[in-house]
């Protein structure tokens, strides 16, 4: 019934190129635009209506979808894409970090200078270790060593299935 370009203009008129439901119903243009012939064809097919814009709007034409055009465009709407896990997380509005939402036990860093723990000191003389509910690594001088110690601790303390 319509060409892909005409359907895209009809969808754009209704705001269906950004939403699953119609959010507007207008398309303002002038006769020199590239899609004007397609808009006229949609008007002749009864899917759109044309009116003339007043001069204070810059002149040109205003196209709007008819009831039949709206039903046609909504019926031709592609199925929505499945949301990614991250998009589901963004929609959940739960207050967790993405790792917490996924159920990942993110290890905490602990810093120590000698036998006193300093929560957020990043001096090169500090010792660091990673700890979580799954295990605790040995103290190390670099974060890279601490990660290796933590992974080794988890590997050796896994619970049998």
DSSP code string of 94-154: -S--HHHHHT--PPEEEEEETTEE-TT---TT-EEEEEETTEEPPPBSSHHHHHHHHHHHH
**What's the pLDDT band for 161 if we cut at 50, 70, 90?**
very low
**What's the pLDDT band for 158 if we cut at 50, 70, 90?**
low
pLDDT score at 25: 93
The segment with the largest mean pLDDT, out of 5-9, 54-58, 104-108, 109-113, is 5-9
pLDDT score at 159: 60
Phi and psi at residue 132, to the nearest 5°? -155, -175
pLDDT score at 118: 53
| pLDDT (tens digit per residue) in 97-155 | 898 899 888 899 988 865 555 555 555 567 889 998 888 999 888 899 999 999 999 88
* Whether the predicted pLDDT of 160 surpasses 60: no
Cα 148–chain centre separation: 34
| pLDDT (tens digit per residue) in 12-49 | 999 998 788 888 999 999 888 888 999 999 999 999 99
């Amino acid at each position: 019934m319509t060409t892909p370009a005409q359907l895209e203009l009809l969808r754009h008129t209704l705001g269906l190129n950004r939403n699953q439901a119609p959010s507007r119903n207008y398309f303002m243009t002038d006769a020199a635009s590239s899609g004007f012939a397609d808009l006229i064809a949609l008007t002749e097919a009864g899917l759109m209506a044309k009116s003339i814009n007043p001069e204070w709007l810059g002149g040109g034409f205003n196209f709007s979808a008819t009831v039949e055009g709206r039903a046609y465009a909504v019926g031709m709407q592609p199925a929505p894409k499945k949301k990614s896990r991250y998009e589901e997380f963004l929609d959940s509005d739960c207050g967790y970090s993405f790792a917490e939402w996924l159920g990942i036990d993110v290890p905490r860093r602990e810093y120590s200078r000698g036998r006193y723990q300093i929560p957020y000191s990043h001096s090169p003389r500090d010792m660091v270790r990673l700890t979580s509910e799954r295990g605790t690594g040995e103290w190390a001088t670099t974060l890279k060593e601490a990660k290796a110690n933590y992974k080794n601790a988890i590997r050796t303390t896994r619970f049998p299935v």
